């Protein structure tokens, strides 16, 4: 019944989960008018892999309601949850009734809490098995309805990260490809990134190449981010212009009496703040200041060269703008002669180290095999859901680990495990076993299957031109059929022995029975009893009744003929073996035959073998001679024969053995 579906999708969790979520409280506002079982909400909210998930679902179980599909009033007696499969690893459920038994007449409301941290992403189909007990008043019957229902849960991929780096996924199946990005950057100051991905790979890029984690397991990914500052460590003035001379301290530029400039430098940042001023040299045209630790973190900068004077104003020997983009040497100069350089290095200021985990779960690897009439998937305790495909299309209801009695074709099965990983099996080609049918009345061989090509075989050899689904038999024996299919099968059928039908011909005298002389052996049967010595294609009957013959062929047939009636006997025609005496018997050279009474008509004497073939015609018996009459057996092969006495109204036969 339709009313069970929304309710049972919730209840099936209870047998699959430990009670660790805490008990929910039923929401009595979860109702439906007119009364009908319902869920609140009707669908589960999405979960995210690696993140804690908790949700409550409430259900309404009216004790009486109208079932519109059946058109009946129904009393809802109870629902018992019997089992469930398909819950993703990491989630648990606790019903407010721990035993999973709900009795609407006692309480029409119930609930369940789903909680936990799903390990991996995926779309999970949860299969729930229940037994619902209902009473139908109009029929006065109580029904227990075992049913299976589904509830879909989507677990979204979890993204990972911390304040120093992010990545697009933290899980994979069999392998994972993950993109990382460092978040911290001290630009314009230098920043370094030192990645160790735990997979044998490292990188020094803020956005490294996507990383492959090739095997199942856990990988510790660490990023060490270092911020640096620029430090001016040396300043060198290599030459100066003549602006230092001509004042009271240095009246000439010739350096007379060793009077030269007293050089010093000033370095200012972008806000003209003085960040460094060197000591002055004494009477030199150059200057060098080393071992400095001038922090430069606010460019661009200027460096100005001065001549220090005690009385007059200091002399400006040149000002130069520069910026720092990296460690190294920065040169400065101007056309009138002042020149020099600075040496810039970097020094770390802060180091940030963060570690995250990438987990690669095993994907399912389903293998389809044939077991009897079934297709089955290899057993694995992690498999939780199955979807079978036939010739590329989903098989409705194909959600178990086996398929019963499948039709020939191409099969796949997609399996999902509890880690959220799915995988498709290799194709399993189930080839047909072509059935062969033979219609004896039409002589037509045929196969009911619809295949790509056909080739009929007779006695193991292909029959030229026999390439249709049917073939008209012209010879009896063993036939087989080789077929191909459009999905890759090449199959030779089992061989079918085609045997001729055997019909008995009844002679005009009603006593001679015969079948074609084309079989390997013969055995005549009279009223169910084999006739001794009757092993040929012809039987001359001595007694009226039902006869048939069992024949065999050299190609394996054993055939029972139709039944024939012998309607004429010697007794009916006043001719009986008892009227005659034949001796000697067995005989070698000849035999004697006498009649005990004078015959009233001519009697012809013939000798036939047990195959019904005429061996010798002796002509007419002297019906007036009551003495023995002699008949020669010269040239007659040893064996058993019939001496047949025939007149116009009947015949009799006497068996004789020739040795």
**What are the pLDDT digits (tens) for 109-128?**
988 888 888 876 778 877 66
Per-residue pLDDT band for 19 (boundaries 50, 70, 90) equals very low
**46-70: per-residue pLDDT in tens?**
988 778 999 888 888 899 999 888 8
Lowest-pLDDT range of 133-147, 304-318, 560-574 = 560-574
Rounded Cα distance between 98 and 107, Å, is: 15
**Residue-level pLDDT at 177:** 96
Average pLDDT over residues 304-308: 96
Rounded Cα distance between 357 and 80, Å, is: 42
Q: What DSSP line would sit under 413-445, residue for residue?
A: EEEEETTS-EEEPPPEEE------EEETTTTEE
Percentage of the chain lying above the pLDDT 90 cut: 56
Q: Does pLDDT of 155 surpass 90?
A: no
Closest CA to 306 of 345, 265, 254, 336: 265
CA atoms within 13 A on the CB side of 553: 18
Per-residue pLDDT band for 554 (boundaries 50, 70, 90) equals very high
The larger pLDDT score, comparing residue 258 to residue 300, is at: 300
Q: Does pLDDT of 265 surpass 80?
A: yes
Site of tokens 């680990």: 401
Name the strand (E) or helix (H) holding 6. Answer: helix 4-11
Q: Does pLDDT of 9 surpass 60?
A: no
Distances (CA, A) of 17 to 40, 88, 110: 21, 11, 17
Distances (CA, A) of 564 to 49, 518, 535, 647: 84, 19, 17, 24
Rounded Cα distance between 458 and 466, Å, is: 10
Q: Does pLDDT of 520 surpass 90?
A: yes
Count Cβ atoms below 10 Å from residue 396 Cβ, excluding itself: 7
Per-residue pLDDT band for 647 (boundaries 50, 70, 90) equals confident
Percentage of the chain lying above the pLDDT 70 cut: 91
635 Cβ neighbours under 8 A, 6+ residues apart? none
Lowest-pLDDT range of 154-168, 426-440, 482-496 = 154-168
Q: Does pLDDT of 569 surpass 80?
A: no
**Residue-level pLDDT at 283:** 93
573 Cβ neighbours under 8 A, 6+ residues apart? 647, 649, 650, 651
**Residue-level pLDDT at 17:** 40
Average pLDDT over residues 244-253: 87
Q: Does pLDDT of 266 surpass 90?
A: yes
The DSSP bridge partners found for residue 141 are 136
**Residue-level pLDDT at 69:** 81
Please give the domain boundaries of the chain with CATH numbers for all domains. 38-156 (2.60.40.2310), 249-339 (2.60.40.150), 362-430 (2.60.40.10), 438-495 (no CATH), 507-566 (2.60.40.10), 577-658 (2.60.40.3080)
**472-488: per-residue pLDDT in tens?**
999 999 999 999 999 99
Q: Does pLDDT of 580 surpass 60?
A: yes
Token pair recorded at residue 281: 């040299």
CA Rg, the chain, in Å? 55
**Residue-level pLDDT at 10:** 40
Q: Is 500 helix (H, G, I), strand (E, B) or coil?
A: coil
**Residue-level pLDDT at 575:** 62
**Cβ proximity of 462 and 492 under 8 Å:** no
**Residue-level pLDDT at 247:** 87
**Cβ proximity of 104 and 74 under 8 Å:** no
> What's the whole-number average pLDDT of the chain?
87
Q: What DSSP line would sit under 57-107, residue for residue?
A: EEEE--SEEEETTTTEEEEEEEEEEEEEE-PPTTEEEEESSTT-EE-TTT-
**Residue-level pLDDT at 572:** 43
Site of tokens 């019909």: 503
**Residue-level pLDDT at 118:** 80
**Residue-level pLDDT at 579:** 77
Question: Which of 412-426, 508-522, 531-545 is predicted most confidently?
Answer: 412-426
What's the sign of the alpha-carbon dihedral 270, 274, 280, 283?
positive
Count Cβ atoms below 10 Å from residue 503 Cβ, excluding itself: 10
**Residue-level pLDDT at 552:** 96
**587-641: per-residue pLDDT in tens?**
999 999 888 777 777 788 889 876 667 899 988 877 777 678 899 999 999 988 8
Site of tokens 């179980």: 61
Spell 412-451 as b/e; 16+ CB within 10 A means b.
bbbbbbbbbbbbebeebebebebebebeeeeeebbbebeb
Rounded Cα distance between 362 and 366, Å, is: 12
Rounded Cα distance between 297 and 299, Å, is: 6
Average pLDDT over residues 250-263: 86
Calculate the CA dihedral of residues 198, 201, 205, 207 and round it to 10 degrees.
Answer: -70
Q: Does pLDDT of 12 surpass 50?
A: no
Q: Does pLDDT of 144 surpass 90?
A: no
Per-residue pLDDT band for 390 (boundaries 50, 70, 90) equals very high
Per-residue pLDDT band for 148 (boundaries 50, 70, 90) equals low
Distances (CA, A) of 8 to 4, 74, 96, 102, 373: 6, 17, 14, 11, 33
Query: Is the whole model's pTM more than 0.85, yes or no?
Result: no
């Amino acid at each position: 019944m339709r009313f069970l579906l929304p309710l049972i999708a919730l209840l099936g969790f209870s047998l699959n989960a430990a009670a660790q979520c805490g008990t929910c409280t039923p929401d009595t506002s979860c109702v439906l008018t007119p009364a009908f079982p319902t869920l609140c909400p009707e669908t589960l909210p999405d979960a995210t892999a690696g993140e804690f998930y908790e949700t409550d679902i409430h259900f309404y179980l009216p004790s009486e309601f109208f079932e519109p599909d059946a058109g009946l009033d129904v009393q809802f007696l109870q629902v018992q949850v019997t089992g469930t499969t398909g819950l993703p690893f990491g989630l648990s459920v606790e019903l407010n009734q721990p035993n999973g038994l709900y009795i609407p007449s006692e309480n029409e409301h119930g609930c369940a809490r789903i909680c936990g941290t799903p390990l991996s992403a995926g779309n999970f189909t949860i299969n729930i098995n229940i037994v619902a007990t209902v009473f139908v008043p109009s029929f006065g019957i109580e029904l227990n309805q075992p049913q299976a229902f589904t509830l879909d849960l989507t677990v979204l991929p979890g993204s990972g990260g911390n304040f120093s780096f992010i990545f697009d996924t933290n899980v994979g199946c069999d392998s994972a490809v993950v993109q990382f990005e460092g978040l911290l950057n001290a630009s314009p100051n230098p920043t370094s990134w030192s990645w160790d991905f735990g997979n044998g790979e490292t990188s020094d890029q803020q956005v490294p190449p996507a990383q492959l984690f090739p095997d199942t397991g856990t990988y510790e990914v660490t990023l060490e981010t270092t911020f640096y500052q620029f430090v001016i460590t040396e300043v060198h003035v290599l030459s100066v212009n003549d602006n230092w001379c001509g004042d009271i301290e240095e009246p000439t530029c010739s350096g007379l009496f060793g009077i030269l400039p007293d050089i010093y430098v000033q370095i200012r940042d972008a806000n003209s703040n003085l960040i460094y001023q060197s000591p002055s040299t004494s009477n030199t045209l150059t200057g060098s200041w080393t071992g400095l630790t001038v922090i430069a973190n606010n460019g661009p900068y200027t460096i100005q060269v001065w001549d220090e004077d005690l009385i007059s104003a200091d002399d400006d020997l040149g000002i130069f703008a520069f910026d720092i983009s990296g460690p190294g040497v920065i040169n400065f100069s101007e056309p009138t002669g002042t020149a020099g350089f600075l040496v810039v290095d970097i020094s770390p200021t802060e180091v940030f180290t963060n570690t995250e985990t990438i987990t690669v779960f095993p994907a399912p690897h389903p293998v389809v095999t044939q077991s009897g009439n079934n297709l089955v998937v290899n057993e694995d305790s992690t498999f939780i859901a199955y979807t079978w495909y036939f010739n590329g299309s989903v098989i409705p209801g194909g959600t178990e680990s086996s398929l019963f009695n499948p039709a020939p074709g191409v099969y796949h099965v997609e399996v999902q495990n509890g880690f959220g990983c799915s995988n498709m099996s290799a194709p399993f080609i189930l080839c047909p076993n072509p059935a062969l049918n033979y219609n004896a009345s039409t002589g037509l061989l045929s196969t009911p299957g619809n295949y790509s090509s056909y080739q009929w075989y007779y006695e193991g050899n292909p029959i030229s031109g026999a390439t249709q689904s049917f073939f008209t038999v012209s010879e009896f024996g063993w036939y087989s059929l080789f077929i191909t299919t459009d999905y890759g099968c090449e199959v030779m059928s089992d061989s079918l022995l085609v045997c001729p039908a055997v019909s008995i011909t009844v002679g005009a005298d009603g006593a001679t029975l015969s079948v074609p002389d084309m079989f390997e052996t013969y055995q005549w049967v009279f009223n169910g009893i084999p006739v001794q010595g009757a092993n040929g294609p012809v039987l001359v009957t001595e007694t009226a009744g039902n006869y048939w013959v069992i024949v065999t062929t050299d190609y394996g047939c054993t055939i029972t003929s139709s039944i024939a009636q012998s309607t004429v006997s010697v007794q009916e025609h006043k001719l009986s073996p008892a009227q005659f005496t034949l001796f000697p018997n067995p005989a070698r050279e000849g035999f004697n035959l006498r009649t005990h009474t004078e015959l009233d008509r001519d009697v012809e004497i013939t000798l036939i073998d047990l195959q019904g073939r005429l061996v010798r015609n002796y002509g007419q018996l002297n019906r007036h001679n009551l003495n023995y009459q002699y008949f020669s057996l010269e040239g007659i092969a040893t064996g058993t024969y019939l001496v047949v006495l025939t007149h116009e109204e009947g015949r009799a036969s006497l068996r004789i053995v020739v040795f």
